[in-house]
């Protein structure tokens, strides 16, 4: 199919890489098409907090020059990507969608940013998010509300809602997000794209502004499974700057895509098909399971008995770590500083009161309480013990199966404002994703259908630690057997 310059924004990363290699298009053409698309849809979607057109064109011109000299750096050279605004970018403001970091310009790049720069990627902008990645709807941003490209009265998911919306709206070819309890996978499901939370330690966290350090993981959001594999290959690997980074080689994920699912055992956890789940979600996921069986896999029921305790354990552990990590924002070192303080203590109080939003304050207070004298044993220690039990559930299940299939979220994207006054209902949006972070395992969400209202539904594929290859095999086989991933929102 012949493409016009104006439709280049619709292609995938791997399609763009082929066209660039054949010199059918240039990186400047591609970047111009993406920036034009952003200009067209951004007033309706509001996915970006900052656009970087000058940097983008400069990087694109350098990529084209390399290609003319026969020195292209690989499949991401000259590809326009978006970056979640909690990843440090040298010389570019990084706010975490919080007033308290307004004006903060990092003097260094996150490791993943450095790796993408080395691969020749073009950064078109920094995307909106829930403040400090705390949320499931991107409604907690201090600056703006991102909307779902499929229905602009709906949330895009969170906390990586800006990245997911940008990919779904063809306002970039791929993006990076971060996932602490579902913040890549849930927005991917809401926006009808692919999102991967890698194994804890597969991708360096150096330069990711911390929310909960034992749970956070950076990962890709993309239009299809192959693009997701390309992005993970670029950002994965050991980093001496991150003590939790695993010293393991990065496999050739792309080579795993064509292996299919014949002979694989896929686990179906009975605890993930619960009362209160949207009927269209359950129906779409069950049809997806049958499709994967039809491709040669064997479905096996498994049990993850401690799933019911996951949300309680997560919201103690994550808030405890947030309380500790966010203590550094005091108005002294960088970012926002309140005016009119009488003394140092008053400066701390005013800065944090004015700089943090309601949800961040809520989580800091929850975490501080959980860690306080007299409550540590009852809450934090108990939650760590539950975490161990949840990991044990997965270990036992993966002795019997190669991957586990679940819904990504219990409902399609809900309406803006629908849950903002009910934190518990909002927290329940992550009921199917949180256990993965507690256990440290990898998981991917990809489209598997639509609700009666035309909203995307996500299928979640869970793997063994560092088992991303098997996840990609399973997801790619399913994706290629269906047409869901080809659908684009009617923008």
Q: Give bridge partners of residue 195 from the DSSP assignment.
A: 221, 445
Query: Distance between CA atoms of 138 and 162, rounded to whole angstroms?
Result: 8
Q: Which of 137, 159, 204, 323 is flagged as catalytic?
A: 159
Chain centre distance of CA 56:
22
Terminal Cα-to-Cα distance of the chain (whole angstroms) = 21
Query: Distance between CA atoms of 350 and 366, rounded to whole angstroms?
Result: 20
Query: Distance between CA atoms of 139 and 98, rounded to whole angstroms?
Result: 12
Contact 405, 284 (CB under 8 A): no
Contact 165, 149 (CB under 8 A): yes
> Is 159 annotated in the active site?
yes
Q: Which of 151, 154, 158, 152 is nearest to 137 (CA)?
A: 158
> Is 71 annotated in the active site?
no
Non-local CB neighbours of 415 within 8 Å, separated by 6+ positions: 153, 154, 155
Which letter does DSSP use for residue 45 in this model? H
Q: Which of 185, 217, 218, 186 is nearest to 81 (CA)?
A: 218
Q: Which of 27, 84, 136, 429 is flagged as catalytic?
A: 84
Query: Distance between CA atoms of 328 and 323, rounded to whole angstroms?
Result: 10
Q: Which of 317, 307, 315 is nearest to 384 (CA)?
A: 317
CB atoms within 10 A of CB 42: 17
> Is 137 annotated in the active site?
no
Non-local CB neighbours of 302 within 8 Å, separated by 6+ positions: 267, 268, 269, 270, 397, 400, 401, 404
Q: Which of 256, 106, 94, 258 is nearest to 176 (CA)?
A: 94
Contact 158, 449 (CB under 8 A): no
Q: Which of 163, 178, 183, 429 is flagged as catalytic?
A: 183
Which letter does DSSP use for residue 477 in this model? H
Buried b (16+ CB within 10 A) or exposed e, 104-126: bebeebbbbbbbbeebbbbbbbb
Q: Which residues are catalytic?
A: 84, 159, 183
């Amino acid at each position: 199919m012949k493409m016009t310059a104006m439709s280049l924004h619709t292609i995938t990363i791997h399609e763009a890489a082929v066209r660039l290699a054949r010199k059918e298009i240039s990186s400047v053409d591609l970047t111009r098409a993406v920036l034009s698309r952003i200009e067209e849809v951004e007033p309706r979607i509001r996915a970006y907090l900052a656009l970087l057109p000058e940097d983008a064109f400069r990087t694109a011109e350098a990529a084209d020059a390399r290609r003319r000299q026969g020195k292209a750096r690989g499949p991401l050279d000259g590809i326009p990507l978006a970056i979640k605004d909690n990843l440090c970018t040298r010389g570019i403001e990084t706010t975490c969608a919080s007033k308290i970091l307004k004006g903060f310009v990092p003097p260094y790049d996150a490791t993943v940013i450095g790796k993408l720069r080395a691969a020749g990627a073009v950064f078109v902008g920094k995307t909106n998010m829930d403040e400090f990645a705390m949320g499931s709807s991107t409604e907690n941003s201090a600056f703006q509300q991102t909307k779902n490209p499929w229905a602009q009265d709906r949330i895009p998911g969170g906390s990586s809602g800006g990245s997911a919306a940008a990919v779904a709206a063809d306002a970039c070819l791929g993006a990076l997000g971060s996932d602490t309890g579902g913040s890549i996978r849930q927005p991917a499901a809401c926006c009808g794209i692919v999102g991967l939370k890698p194994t804890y330690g597969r991708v360096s966290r150096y330069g990711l502004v911390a929310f909960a350090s034992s749970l956070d993981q950076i990962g890709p959001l993309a239009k299809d499974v192959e693009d997701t594999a390309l992005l993970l290959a670029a950002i994965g690997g050991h980093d001496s700057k991150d003590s939790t980074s695993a010293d393991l080689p990065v496999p050739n994920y792309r080579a795993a895509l064509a292996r299919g699912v014949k002979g694989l055992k896929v686990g179906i956890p009975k605890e993930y098909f619960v009362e209160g789940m949207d009927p269209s979600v359950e129906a779409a996921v069950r049809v997806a399971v049958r499709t994967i069986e039809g491709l040669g896999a064997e479905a096996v029921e498994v049990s993850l008995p401690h799933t019911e305790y996951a949300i309680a354990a997560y919201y103690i552990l994550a808030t405890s770590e947030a309380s500790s990590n966010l203590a550094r924002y005091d108005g002294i070192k960088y970012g926002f500083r309140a005016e009119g303080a009488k003394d140092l203590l008053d400066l701390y109080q005013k800065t944090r009161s004015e700089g943090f939003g309601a949800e961040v304050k809520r989580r800091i207070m929850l975490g501080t309480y959980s860690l306080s004298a007299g409550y540590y044993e009852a809450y934090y220690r108990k939650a760590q013990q539950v975490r161990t039990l949840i990991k044990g559930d997965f270990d036992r299940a993966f002795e019997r199966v190669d991957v586990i299939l679940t819904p990504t979220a219990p409902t399609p994207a809900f309406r803006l404002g629908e849950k903002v006054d009910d934190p518990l209902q909002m927290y329940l949006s992550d009921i199917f994703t949180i256990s993965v972070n507690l256990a440290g395992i990898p998981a991917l969400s990809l489209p598997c259908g639509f609700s009666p209202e035309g909203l995307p539904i996500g299928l979640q594929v869970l793997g063994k630690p560092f088992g991303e290859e098997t996840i990609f095999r399973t997801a790619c086989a399913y994706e290629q057997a269906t047409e869901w991933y080809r659908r684009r929102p009617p923008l």
